[in-house]
Amino acid sequence: MNKLFFASVFSIVLSQAVAVRASDQACPDSHLANAAKRIHIQILDPTTKLDSVNNELIKPSLIDNELTGEAAIPSLIDDKLVKQTTNKGQVALTDQQNTQYYGSFLLGSEQQQFTGILDTGSSNIWIPDQRCTTPACQKKTKFDSSKSTTFNTENENLSIQYGTGSMQGYVGYDTVTFGNMSVSNQGFGLAQQLSDDFQYSPFDGIFGLAYRSIASDQITPWLDNAVTQGLLPKAIFSFYLTNTPASGTGRLILGEPDPDYYQGDITWHPLKPLETGGPADFYYNIVFDGIDVDYTSIPLTCQYAGTACHAIVDSGTSLIVGPAEDIANIQNTLDINPDCSNLDQQPDLVFSIDGVKYAVPPRFYVVKQVDWWGQEQCVAGLSQGSENFWIFGDAFMRAFYVVFDKTDSKIGLATLAEDLKNPQTLRTHHQNQQ
C-alpha cells in the first residue's frame, strides 16, 4: 500500500507500503491504505502523568509542568539503542522524540544486531545488505550473510515502494532473534538499494508485526513463526510507549500482557474488516463510535455517510491521521500557543470505542515541531489523510497500554501502571545533532 512521508530534519518513518513482488504486482487490496501514513517532526517531549479509570472514561490526567525548558539528549545516530536489561519476551524501545519507536533484533548464527521500527502497520522485516552502496545505507548496520552458517536464499527479488521512498533487494532466510526468542528460517528482506529518503533515519530497517495477508511475497511474519515453532503459545504482544525520549523505559512485550505495565482491566475491542466483505486479518483495524472535544461531538465523515468509522491502530505512524475535513474540524476547536504556554487549557480528545470513552489529553497529542531553520512551535499531533478511515498512531497509543492479539483478532486498551506516571525531564532534539 502507498505510504506518504512528511520528513523534517533527518528521519524518515515508515509504515504500510506497497510491497511489490518480482512480477511488479502490488499486494491485494493494498490501495485501501494510501492515506497520509507518516508524520515525522522534531518535538520537545511532553511530560505526563496518568489517572486510573474513572467509570467508563479512561483518562490520563495532566500535571502542572509547562512545555518549557530543554535538556540535551545523546545523539541517537552514534548511540542508536538505549542499553537496557530486558527479560525474555521483552524488547527495549528507543523513543526518537515521540515520533519513532524502534528496538533491536539479531540475525544469523553470529547474531548480528540491527535496529528497526516495530511496526504494526506492515508485516515484513528488512535490513540493509552488505552489498548496499547507496548513500542511505552508508551509516546503517548492514547484514553480512557470509558470516552466518544458517543463512540461505533463492535470490527472490523484493521491492517495497513508499510514498517518498523505496527499497530494492532480495529475500533471505535465517535465524532472527527478537526479545531473546530465536525463530529459525525466518524470511526477511535484504536491501541492496535504499532511496535517499532513508539517509538520515536513525534505525537500520523495519520489523513488521501485522498480518501475512499484507506481507510482500506472503512471507510469514516472525510472530506467526514464533507460535508455530513453540516459542509462544499464541500470537499476542503489547506496547508501552514512553512519553519521555531517551528514557529507555518503553517496551514491547511478547506474549501475554505484563501487569507491571498496566492497572485495572484490559478493555478488548474486536478487529473488523477495513471495508465490507474484506478480511479482518489484514490490518489492526477497529470500529469506533465518535470523537468528542471539550464535551462537544465532532461531526465525522463516516457518520454522515452512514458507514462505520474505521481506525487502524498503528505503532509505526507518529500522529493521529484522519479524513481531511474531520481533522480540520478538530483543529478548529484548538488554540495552541506556539510556546505551549496554554497547553493545560487545551481540551482532551475523547475517542469512543464500543461505548467506552478513551481520553487523550494535550500533553500526549501536542508535539513541539522544529523546522528546517531550528524554529520550535507547538502543534497538535494530527494529520489530514486522503482516505476515509483513521489511523490511531503513537499520539494515541502513548496514553495507554495497548495489546495486539493476532490469534483472537482483537485489540486491548488499559490504563498505565501507577509507577510509570512520574514526570520526566523535558527534552528536545535539533538538526545539528544528526
State yes or no: is 144 an active-site residue.
Answer: no
Cell of 277: 466483505
The whole-angstrom separation of Cα 362 and Cα 165 is 31
119 is an active site residue: yes
Which residue bears the cell 488499559?
Answer: 414
Closest by CA position to 389, among listed 239, 269, 273: 273
Query: What is the CB neighbour count within 10 angstroms for residue 408?
Result: 12
Grid-cell match 507518529, residue found? 318
How far apart, in whole angstroms, are the C-alpha atoms of residue 389 and residue 285? 9
| Pair 336, 376: CB distance under 8 Å | no
> Is the separation of the CB atoms in 172 and 108 below 8 Å?
no
Here the cell at position 289 is 463510535
Count other C-beta atoms under 10 Å from residue 99's C-beta.
26
What's the CA gap between 297 and 420, in Å, rounded?
31
How far apart CA 429 and CA 433 sit, in angstroms, is 7
Q: Which of 174, 224, 258, 314 is catalytic?
A: 314
Neighbours of 294 (CB within 10 A): 12
**Other CB atoms closer than 10 Å to residue 180's CB: what's the count?**
14
Annotated catalytic residues are: 119, 314
